[in-house]
Chain A
Amino acid sequence: MAKITYRQALNQAMAEEMDRDPSVFLIGEEVAEYQGAFKVSQGLLQRFGAKRVVDTPISEAAFSGLAVGAALYGLRPIVEFMNWSFSFVAFDQLVNNVGSLRFMSGGQFSLPMVFRGPSGGGTQIGATHSHCPESWFAGVPTLTVVSPAFPEDAKGLLKSSIRSNNPVFFFEGERLYGLEGEVPDGDSLTPIGEARVCREGGDLTIVSGGYSTHTAISAAETLSANGTEAEVIDLRTIKPYDFDRIAQSVRKTNRLLIVEENKPFAGWGAQIAYDVQRRLFDWLDAPILRVTGLDLPQPYNGKLEAQVLPNVERILAAARQLLA
């Protein structure tokens, strides 16, 4: 075990997997010479050379499409978006090509590829740079969506994602890059599709993912100080999410609160709420609640942005409502 940052964890995952498999390469804007816009790829160019750490022009559609072709051919690209908000100029490539080509070819081709980069708000960079598009991509039947909250999972999930034979959309928290945590040494993989229980409790279940997991944990600590114990589940994988782990907790607490940064309409929490009411209706003592980003483009103003994002106050209010 070593204490490293979330950023270093991602860096180690890529370096280890590139070491292990010569077909893995990293491509994106500023990933090589600049060492990564957020320094996630620091040192990779020096270690693996320009053939495998590829700087691109500002052409998201072309380099995403190029990665698709390379994957069809048998390589394993890691595509870095400087920010997931910039991926939308490549939306056609991501949805039509990554999303459909294997299926439309009758299964002749695989797309072993990872698209990764920072997402989400909280850094006052305005509406165009603060999107949290996890749910948009989760709406595509063939895409796997991952969003780690801790350094250990950042590393373990990225390694799993690179080794997966399917396309994985990997959402990093821009606000998490500097977060430190214990990460096991060596080849430790976090399974895709398994949630993590961050905190046990019998009074209510809080399901969250990515940066919001940390907000949920803070809220749970406040609740605990007031005598209420929340069980906090960090999804880690958004799609396919770990229904069984949530069900196990809800059967114990009979109350479910979902905390997600997505905008409210059809955010992934809505899917979870649907599935839980459909399959565990009799286990619920109260309606399922969701604390989401507010239905506004992200405001620049710091006070407003803090209100738009899921925050401890709104989680506490929702918890009180659930327990009333």
Chain B
Amino acid sequence: MVADDPAVAVAEPKVPASSVTPEIQIELYRLMVRIRRFEEKSAQAFMRAAIKGFCHLYIGQEAVAAGALSVLEPRDAVITAYRDHGIALARGTPARPCMAELFGKQTGCSHGMGGSMHLFDRAHQFYGGHAIVGSHTAVAAGLAFAQQYENTEGVTLCLLGEGAVNQGVFAETLNLVSLWKLPIVFLIENNDYAMGTSVSRSSAGLPLVNRGSAFDMAGRVANGMDVEDVRAKVAEAINLARTEHLPSLLEVHTYRYRGHSMSDPDTYRTKEEIEEHKKGDPILLYRRRLEERHVLSDTLAKEIDEKARAEVQDALSFAEQSPEPDLDFAFSLRFSVEDQIDPIPRPRYSDL
């Protein structure tokens, strides 16, 4: 799997011809830059303790979200794990409610109840942000089940970390989706590490894409440092799901530059390893390629960057200035309003 090594990708002698229009190329680039700037801003805010709890950055993995989500339609459903900022942005959730959620504010996309790991945006068919490793893969199957049940012709894209493949529920779920031919794509973001455990220390039977074979699932591997490769492979898989109701399993090789979360001292890998991967940076790589294709000028690249910086600065100010939710609001979220039966009494069981 030499082609998946980003260091090799950088050294590619020829620029591959692109199957995507210049407009889309620019948008892919812009999205990756927006995600990177958002994450850098989040990191700063976390360092000054304005963001609390866990905060898992997407830096290094931008091409996965940008490429994969770029082929989806509005009727499709997206669900992911807790490293979700980039996914929400790629799905169309504006930076303001994303950042406000990291700050735990009322204006956050989950109204301050979810935090960094639990971004949700129903309007964009983004079904979260899930922090129990592997748990959401079964939920994803249910989204696809419902799409099939309702004949929407929508499909579900479920992203998961490579650490999640060793959860039992994931194996159960692969069996179900294959057995029932559900319109779903599982995309493993293989960034080589689950916290401090490298794939080779956690997983037998590599490559991980093999995990689908026992269930007869179509498998594909993509280079997650190459946004167009991700886009192309995901497009094939989505097409298979939409037109033939066949699920697939994609393994996308990527790398995270930062620690597992902001609280990770990152002692399980060397500085050299990280630097080596940065040479194959997805944004840098794509910028060079677009310049060679004369799609992106220096001026436009600068403009994109400035806009992204302004956008996340605005999101930060918005988050800082937004009000906090209150306890009564939190209680109001416990239950949905009944409209087919009489209201159910909902005591709080605590008056002290």
The 3 lowest CB-CB distance pairs between A and B, nearest first, are A69-B142, A65-B138, A106-B111
Interface flags for B322-352 (1: CB within 8 Å of A; 0: not) read: 0000000010111111111110111101010
User: Which residues in A have some Cβ–Cβ distance to B below 8 Å?
Assistant: 25, 51, 56-57, 59, 61-75, 92-93, 96-97, 101-112, 141-142, 144, 160, 163-166, 189, 191-193, 240, 243, 271, 275, 278
Partner pick for B135 among A65, A72, A160, CB 8 A cutoff: A65
Closest to A105 in B: B120
Whole-angstrom distance between the Cβ of A274 and the nearest chain B Cβ? 9
Known A69-B140, A164-B341: A105·B110 in contact at CB below 8 Å = yes
Known A57-B175, A107-B332, A189-B341: A92·B132 in contact at CB below 8 Å = yes
The answer on a CB contact under 8 Å between B176 and A164 is no
The answer on a CB contact under 8 Å between B111 and A107 is yes
- In Å, the complex CA distance between A233 and B327 comes to 34
Partner pick for A101 among B128, B337, B342, B346, CB 8 A cutoff: B128
The answer on a CB contact under 8 Å between B332 and A70 is no
Chain B residues whose C-beta falls within 8 Å of the C-beta of A110 in the assembled complex: 336
Chain B residues whose C-beta falls within 8 Å of the C-beta of A109 in the assembled complex: 120, 122, 127
- In Å, the complex CA distance between A96 and B345 comes to 23
Partner pick for B176 among A56, A73, A74, A278, CB 8 A cutoff: A56
Chain B residues whose C-beta falls within 8 Å of the C-beta of A141 in the assembled complex: 334
- In Å, the complex CA distance between A274 and B138 comes to 38
- In Å, the complex CA distance between A240 and B348 comes to 10
> Which B173-197 residues have a C-beta within 8 angstroms of A?
173, 175-176, 179
Known A57-B179, A103-B334: A66·B347 in contact at CB below 8 Å = no
The answer on a CB contact under 8 Å between B172 and A70 is no
- In Å, the complex CA distance between A109 and B77 comes to 14
18 additional A-B residue pairs with CB within 8 Å, beyond A62-B138, A104-B113, A164-B344:
A59-B172, A59-B176, A65-B136, A65-B169, A68-B138, A68-B142, A73-B142, A74-B150, A75-B150, A96-B135, A97-B135, A101-B128, A107-B111, A108-B110, A144-B344, A164-B338, A191-B341, A240-B344
- In Å, the complex CA distance between A260 and B255 comes to 54
The answer on a CB contact under 8 Å between A66 and B341 is no
Closest to B148 in A: A51
- In Å, the complex CA distance between A63 and B176 comes to 8
Partner pick for A102 among B139, B172, B336, CB 8 A cutoff: B336
Closest to B168 in A: A61
Chain B residues whose C-beta falls within 8 Å of the C-beta of A96 in the assembled complex: 132, 135
The answer on a CB contact under 8 Å between A193 and B334 is no
The answer on a CB contact under 8 Å between B112 and A75 is no
Whole-angstrom distance between the Cβ of B181 and the nearest chain A Cβ? 13
Interface flags for B282-309 (1: CB within 8 Å of A; 0: not) read: 0000000000000000000000000000
Whole-angstrom distance between the Cβ of B144 and the nearest chain A Cβ? 8
Partner pick for B149 among A25, A56, A193, CB 8 A cutoff: A25
The answer on a CB contact under 8 Å between A93 and B138 is yes
Counting chain A CB atoms within 10 Å of each CB, the highest count among B77, B108, B136, B336 belongs to: B336
Chain B residues whose C-beta falls within 8 Å of the C-beta of A101 in the assembled complex: 128, 139
Q: What is the total number of residues of chain B having a CB less than 8 Å from a CB of chain A?
A: 57
The answer on a CB contact under 8 Å between B344 and A106 is no
Whole-angstrom distance between the Cβ of A264 and the nearest chain B Cβ? 19
Chain B residues whose C-beta falls within 8 Å of the C-beta of A106 in the assembled complex: 108-114, 120, 333
The answer on a CB contact under 8 Å between B114 and A105 is yes
Q: Is B118 an interface residue (CB 8 A)?
A: yes
- In Å, the complex CA distance between A25 and B149 comes to 10
Closest to A58 in B: B172
The answer on a CB contact under 8 Å between B341 and A192 is yes
The answer on a CB contact under 8 Å between B113 and A163 is no
Interface flags for B121-142 (1: CB within 8 Å of A; 0: not) read: 1100001101010011111111
The answer on a CB contact under 8 Å between A104 and B141 is no
- Some 18 contacts from A to B, beta carbons below 8 A apart, are A61-B138, A62-B176, A65-B135, A65-B173, A67-B142, A68-B138, A70-B145, A72-B139, A93-B138, A103-B113, A103-B330, A105-B128, A106-B110, A106-B120, A108-B122, A164-B340, A166-B336, A166-B338
Q: Is B146 an interface residue (CB 8 A)?
A: yes
- In Å, the complex CA distance between A56 and B109 comes to 35
- In Å, the complex CA distance between A11 and B46 comes to 54
Q: Is B89 an interface residue (CB 8 A)?
A: no
Closest to A278 in B: B351
Interface flags for B232-247 (1: CB within 8 Å of A; 0: not) read: 0000000000000000
Chain A residues whose C-beta falls within 8 Å of the C-beta of B135 in the assembled complex: 65, 92-93, 96-97
Chain A residues whose C-beta falls within 8 Å of the C-beta of B127 in the assembled complex: 69, 72, 109
Q: Is B147 an interface residue (CB 8 A)?
A: yes
Partner pick for B147 among A73, A104, A192, CB 8 A cutoff: A73
> Which B81-139 residues have a C-beta within 8 angstroms of A?
108-114, 118, 120-122, 127-128, 130, 132, 135-139
Whole-angstrom distance between the Cβ of A194 and the nearest chain B Cβ? 9
The answer on a CB contact under 8 Å between A240 and B347 is yes
The answer on a CB contact under 8 Å between B147 and A62 is no
The answer on a CB contact under 8 Å between B336 and A165 is yes
Whole-angstrom distance between the Cβ of B349 and the nearest chain A Cβ? 7
Closest to B139 in A: A69
Q: Is B249 an interface residue (CB 8 A)?
A: no
- In Å, the complex CA distance between A69 and B135 comes to 11
The answer on a CB contact under 8 Å between A73 and B122 is no
Counting chain B CB atoms within 10 Å of each CB, the highest count among A56, A69, A164 belongs to: A69
Known A72-B139, A106-B109: A66·B337 in contact at CB below 8 Å = no
The answer on a CB contact under 8 Å between A191 and B172 is no
- In Å, the complex CA distance between A96 and B108 comes to 21
Whole-angstrom distance between the Cβ of B4 and the nearest chain A Cβ? 30
Q: Is B143 an interface residue (CB 8 A)?
A: yes
Chain B residues whose C-beta falls within 8 Å of the C-beta of A67 in the assembled complex: 142
Partner pick for A104 among B120, B140, B347, CB 8 A cutoff: B120
Chain B residues whose C-beta falls within 8 Å of the C-beta of A278 in the assembled complex: 351
Chain B residues whose C-beta falls within 8 Å of the C-beta of A51 in the assembled complex: 149
Chain B residues whose C-beta falls within 8 Å of the C-beta of A59 in the assembled complex: 172-173, 175-176
Closest to A73 in B: B146
